[in-house]
A and B are shown apart, each in its own frame.
Chain A
Amino acid sequence: MTRTRLLAISIGLLLYTMPANAGFLSAQLSVNGLTCPFCAFGIEKKLLEVPGVREVEVFLDEGRIALTFERGTEATVKQLEEAVRKAGFELAGLSIETSGEIKRAGEGDVRLVAHPGMVFRLTEMVDRREQPVSAETLRRIQKTRASNGESLVVRGAVSERDSREPLLVIRESEPVPGPGN
C-alpha cells in the first residue's frame, strides 16, 4: 500500500537531472573553498534568486549551506547547482529533505518515489553487502510510522549505478512528529 512519507535523503553525488519540485522541504549544500563573507553573502544572494528558496543560511567555516523551500516550489537541483556556479563555486555535495512515497515494486524490492520522475530503490547493508531492503526493515519503518503519526525520517546515501535509478541505501530511520503534532 502506498503511503506518504517524509524522507530525508542524504545524497552523496550531485544528481543533475533530479527534479526538486513539489516535495522539497530543505537541503544542505556543501561547497569547497568558501572562506570569505563576500562569497558567502554572494552565494546566499544567488540561491535566494532560485524560485521557491525561502531561506539560506551559510556556515562559512564549514563550507555548508542550509536551505529551506516554500511549499510547492518548482525549483530543481540543476537550478541550485547553477546558482552556486554563478556565485563562483562548484557544488561539492547535496542532501535534501523531501516528501515522497514508499512503494513495494516487487518481491523484496522497495522503491522510494519522491516525485514522478524521481525514483530510488531502497537498499540496505547486510554483512557489508548491499541488497534490497528486507521486508523486516520495511515493516519496522512502517511500524515506526504507524506508532508516530504521519511522518518518518529515513537517512541514507544515494549513489549512481549503471542503472538510471540512483540508489538510496538506508542507514538509519527515526520517527519525527507529524504536521499536526
Chain B
Amino acid sequence: MRIWIPVRTGSVIGGLVVVIALSAACSPRTLPGSELFAVWGISGSGPGELSQPIGIAIGTDGSVFVADAGNHRVQVFDSDGGFLRTIGDRGKELGFFRRPMDLDIDSQGRLYVAEHGGDRVQVFTHEGEFLREVRGDGSVAGGFDAAAGVLVSPSGELYVADFYNNRVVVFEMDGVFSRVIGTPGRVFPGRLHYPTDLDWVDGRLVVADAYNNRIQLFTPAGEAVARWGGLLGLGIPGSGRGSFRVATGVAVDSPNRIYVADFENHRIQVFSSDGRLLSIFGSQGDGPGEFERPTDLDIGPDGRIFVVDYGNDRIQVFEPLPDSLR
C-alpha cells in the first residue's frame, strides 16, 4: 500500500506519525484468537458467587483463586469452576480484607493478596490459613497507598503495584523494604501512572501501567527497558491493534507471551516478550467469549487462559494459544 506523504517543511514529522499510526491500526494481517473453553460464575454474595471480581491467580494444582472484591474475600474454585472454599471476609483484622485486588501464588503454593483498602499484602497457605502481612504506610519509603497488584519474583522478592504513589515497591523475602521502581508521570520511559498489575518475563518485571495505557518492562534494579501500547508507547489511549484503553491486568505464559487485559476495550491482547502483537480476542458484551471490562487474567498449568470478566461477575476460560504462535 502506498501512502502519499505531503513533503513540505513542517509536515514531514506529521507524515511519519500518520504512516506509523496507519500501519499499526490498519494492518491487513489477520491475528489468531483463542477458543472459549468455559464460562462460570454468578452474581451474588453466597458461597461460589461473585461480586466485582477483579483479580485472579491459578495454583500449581490448577485451583483458581479469585479476588472477590465486592464481597471482600478470596474464593477458591477447581479448574472447572466448582466452588471449593472461601478465604477471609470483610474486616481490618489479620486474615480479613478491605477490597482484595490482586493475587499471586509463589512456588510453594502460598497465596499473596494485595488489598486496596487495607494498604497491605497478606500471605496465606494454599488452604487459606493466615501466615503474615506486609504493611504499607502511605508515601514514605517502603510504604504504599492502595496495593493494586502483587508479584513474587522467582528469587522470592515481593513486588507491590503502589497505585496512588505511581510506583512499584520491592520488599525482600522477609518483608524488609528493598527499593522502589518507577516514578510518577506520563509519556517518558519509567514513568508510571496508576500501575495495577505485575508479572515476570525473561528476568524482567512487566508492569501494567494502567492509566498510561501501556505495558512497561523494567530490570530488577529498576531500569526501564521496553514499553508498548499505542504510538511509540507514549501512553496515548486507543482502540486499534496494540493500543490500550487502560491496561489493567497482565500475565505471562510458559512460552513467555504477555497477555494484557485491555479494560475499556473489553478485550485481551497477547504480545511477544519484545512487544510484538500476536493475538487479540474478545469484544464488549455478556455473551460467551465477550467481556464487560476485563480486569485481570492468569494462565493455568495447561496453558488455558483464565480471564476475570469484571462487569459480568464471571470467569471465562480460553483454550491455550498454539506454541507456534511466537
Instruction: List the interface of chain A (C-beta within 8 A of B).
Output: 35-38, 41-42, 44-45, 48, 86-88
Contacts and interface: CB of A to CB of B under 8 A. Distances in A.
A38 B163 contact: yes
A36 B246 contact: yes
A38 B163 CA distance: 8
Among A37, A42, A45, A48, which residue has the most Cβ atoms of chain B within 10 A? A37
Contacts of A87: 164
State the 9 A-B residue pairs at the shortest beta-carbon distance, nearest first: A41-B99, A41-B116, A45-B117, A42-B146, A37-B54, A38-B196, A37-B52, A38-B148, A45-B146
15 contacts: A35-B264, A36-B248, A36-B293, A37-B52, A37-B310, A38-B163, A41-B99, A41-B101, A41-B117, A42-B163, A44-B99, A44-B117, A45-B98, A45-B117, A48-B117
Given A41-B101, A41-B117, A42-B116, A36 B164 contact: no
Majority DSSP secondary structure for residues of A touching B = helix
Majority DSSP secondary structure for residues of B touching A = loop
Interface string B163-191: 11000000000000000000000000000
B265 interface: no
A38 B164 CA distance: 10
Contacts of A36: 246, 248, 263-264, 293
Nearest to B70: A37
A44 B116 CA distance: 10
Interface residues of B, number: 22
B192 interface: no
Nearest to B310: A37
Among A41, A45, A87, which residue has the most Cβ atoms of chain B within 10 A? A41
B264 to A, nearest CB: 7
Nearest to A48: B117
Nearest to A39: B194
Contacts of B76: none
Among A38, A44, A87, which residue has the most Cβ atoms of chain B within 10 A? A38
B87 interface: no
A144 to B, nearest CB: 39
A42 B99 CA distance: 10
A82 to B, nearest CB: 14
Interface in B128-186: 146, 148, 163-164
A42 B148 CA distance: 10
Contacts of B99: 41, 44-45
Contacts of B194: 38, 88
A43 to B, nearest CB: 10
A147 to B, nearest CB: 40
